[in-house]
Amino acid sequence: MCIGFSAIITKDGRILFCEPNSDGNVSHSEILKRAGIEDDAKLLDRTFVRIEFPNWSESSFKFDEPKTLPPWVDEEELKNKSVKLLNRILPIYNEYNTVENPAKESRDKIISDSDSLYKSILNKAFEEYKTKTKTVEFNESEKIAEIEKNKVISSAWSDHNCFVHSIWVDYKTFIDKINKAHNELVKTMIAEYNRLKELDRKDYENKINIAKEDHDKVCNDANQSYEETNNEAKTKMIDKISKIEGHV
């Protein structure tokens, strides 16, 4: 993996390079591709070597394959040439960073703040939804209906005990009616509860969809603003770097 500022030095003395990517790294593969140089498997007899400055400082200079340098390489000479090139590229790259870094930080903060707000809205909407759709009130209503039913049955049973033989059939019919009425009431309660729960669910989904749309718009606008600033700064950087001999 290429890290930092990298270049290709050819046997005929050229130092080839290109502009860094969004991570601040210059790719050896991209240089070879642009220069039309085949990256073959030859090592000791190859016609180019890879160098890099991993942290963009002179002291970090290194050959990418130090143990397989071909005989034509003068390490000290190539290092000096590479340092000179770095010192021409670095001010241009730093100038670009003075624009790109603040733009990226601003974008990241906007997105981070929007993300926090979005999550806050989601959590609040979900808590409201849970509160509205909790079954406590429904269960309490069902219990009350059950209690009232049992009161009626209990009263009828007391009457029944007084006239066991004479009113059994009437008592049985009466209890069946009470149970049927109770079941119809519970069925109606369940239907109404589910209807309201569905309305609450749609309201919840509507809230989170609106929040997501707002969040996505903020992020997209922030990214677009960053890209515009970055592209303008990068174009200027490439224009300056391209005037240096060896740029591909």
DSSP string, 42-84: --TT-SEEEEEETTSSGGG-EESSGGG--TT--HHHHHHHHHH
Model confidence over 220-242: pLDDT tens digits?
Answer: 999 999 999 999 999 999 999 99
Please tell me the predicted confidence (pLDDT) of residue 203: 87
What is the domain partition of the chain in residue ranges? 5-103, 106-237
DSSP-assigned beta bridge partners for residue 49: 9
142-185 per-position pLDDT tens digit: 666 667 667 766 666 566 565 555 556 666 776 777 777 777 77
**pLDDT > 90 fraction of the chain, expressed in percent and rounded:** 58
Quick check: 6 pLDDT over 60? Answer: yes
pLDDT band at 68 (very low <50, low <70, confident <90, very high): confident
Of 88, 54, 75, nearest to 9 by C-alpha is: 75
Q: What is the pLDDT of residues 13-36, one digit of tens each?
A: 999 999 999 899 999 999 999 999
E strand segments, the chain: 5-10, 15-16, 48-53, 62-63
